[in-house]
Structure 1
Amino acid sequence: MVKQSVRDIAASSTTSPTVAGQADKRTEDPNLIDTLNQVFTLFRINYHNQYHAAFGEVAVLNQAKRLWKESLGSFSNEQILQAARDVIEQSDYLPTLHKMLVACEATLVAEGLPPVQEAYREAANAPSPKNAQPWSHPAVYLAGKQVGWRNMVHMAEAKSFPLFAKAYRELIKRVLAGEALEIDRPTGIEDKQGAVLTRTDVEEKIRDLRKLFDPD
């Protein structure tokens, strides 16, 4: 039913108020504006009283759309619409921008990008050496590295999570823009048999050698 509503709304959404007003048309993506108009129309239909209480004034509505455009612009139109459908089907309350951002991020799982909370847990619990682990996506590793691995382990989650979320979301934007993120994998060194040794392997071999000379 929600999908049918989206199709019906799409036909008329181009006549809805623009995100930032007439003066800014030239600098805006018309497809994104159309998508946000569809989303807000869906919200008006499904959260009628809450919607009018929040966006009863045109100036407030346009300001909200402008903010949503800035925050959700890195996601595709399909992802934004899917997130709106998911929110409508799962909640009786008009979503905040934060809830829509989380819903949009949830659509990225198919691309290998875990939701921010899962990404944080993965980064916080990853063993060392960090760059040798099988990360779900390079963005998770790079966000943890940016925050600092010591901070990820020892800083209170109330402080480290916002830092991680900000870094991770910026990396998501880069991924959606087409950038291929990479992890600085350990180069290691080769032993006599030609096998590549990581830093951990080297440290273990050093400890073994020390035991030969000092068994106690």
Structure 2
Amino acid sequence: MARTPASTQLLNRVTQQLKQASSDSKTPAGETLAHEPSIEQKEAINQIFELFRFNYHNQFLKAFPDLDTMIMAKRLWARLLGEYSGDVMMRAAERAVKESSFLPSVHEVLARCDVADSLGLPSVHAAFMEACRAPSPKKEFNWSHPAVYFAGRASDWFFLANNVEEKTFPVFKRNYEILLRRLQNGESIEMEVAKALPEHSETPLPRKEQQQRLQELKKQLS
């Protein structure tokens, strides 16, 4: 039976992803992945594939016509989604099913992985706005979650208050996502977040501005 153009395109897309995954892999034959997926992650990937099989039956069978293709695909998913818990993976897959009438790719699921949502925390931007708008003293503010406070502290309150969002949001986003991963892994979020290395050397602040900054930080009692 001849394939329709749509089914051929779908199969070609999946095949290309699997070939890319194979060529990108640096794991010698017979060795395991550097970060072996947990049992929870493996179970989540299996459940996701069953979810897709049920919702996209014909597309699914055309994309994964045999066991070898299925195994390769699951290995690809395990590697690309390896930093997320099984719960985050499942929520992302379910969201993809609700939003698409076509079989989602691993990249489409990856784009929907939201650790904050799975943990019941504010989204990155909502947390950012909360941190920027919170009055001083920061410790006494009724935070939606301690992670928002610690992300703001790690980002530097003075920096957040005195620079444009285009500059401050990426810094906050990095710190917040680090803390989200700690929460996801059951780790403490009260440990200091290491500063990102600057992309270029910066000119030291004038002495007057340094003093102003110090006074501001004292007021905030963070």
- Larger-gyration structure (1/2): 1
User: Hey, what's the Cα distance between the residues in 1 that align with 2:166 and 2:77?
Assistant: 27
Q: State which drifts further: 127-136 or 79-88.
A: 79-88
Structure 2 match to 1:105 = 116
Structure of higher RCO (CA pairs closer than 8 Å, 6+ residues apart): 2
User: Hey, what's the Cα distance between the residues in 2 that align with 1:158 and 1:42?
Assistant: 39
Structure 1 match to 2:44 = 35
Q: Could you tell me whether the CA contact under 8 Å between 2:155 and 2:171 is conserved in 1?
A: yes
Where 1:96 maps in the other structure, the secondary structure is helix
> What displacement does 1:139 show?
0.5
User: Hey, what's the Cα distance between the residues in 1 that align with 2:155 and 2:53?
Assistant: 39
User: Hey, what's the Cα distance between the residues in 2 that align with 1:83 and 1:22?
Assistant: 31
Q: 1:116 to 1:42 in 2, by over 3 A?
A: same
Unmatched tracts of structure 2, length 5 or more: 1-26, 64-68, 192-217
Q: Which runs of 4+ in 1 moved over 4 A?
A: 43-47, 56-61, 180-183
Q: Could you tell me whether the CA contact under 8 Å between 1:108 and 1:115 is conserved in 2?
A: no
Unmatched tracts of structure 1, length 5 or more: 1-19, 184-198, 201-216
User: Hey, what's the Cα distance between the residues in 1 that align with 2:162 and 2:109?
Assistant: 30
Higher helix share: 1
When the two chains are superposed, the root-mean-square deviation of aligned CA atoms in Å is 3.8
Find 1:96's aligned residue among 108, 111, 122: 108
Q: Structure 1 length as normaliser, TM-score? A: 0.56
Equivalent residue runs for 1:12-91 within 5 Å:
23-24=31-32, 27-40=36-49, 42-43=51-52, 48=59, 52=63, 62-69=75-82, 71-72=83-84, 75=85, 77-91=86-100
Structure 2 match to 1:196 = none
Matched, 1:176 2:184: yes
User: Hey, what's the Cα distance between the residues in 2 that align with 1:138 and 1:127?
Assistant: 15
Q: Structure 2 length as normaliser, TM-score? A: 0.54
Q: Structure 1 vs Structure 2: percent identity of aligned residues?
A: 30
Find 1:152's aligned residue among 155, 160, 163: 160
Structure 2 match to 1:210 = none
Q: Could you tell me whether the CA contact under 8 Å between 1:143 and 1:171 is conserved in 2?
A: yes
Q: State which drifts further: 86-95 or 130-139.
A: 86-95
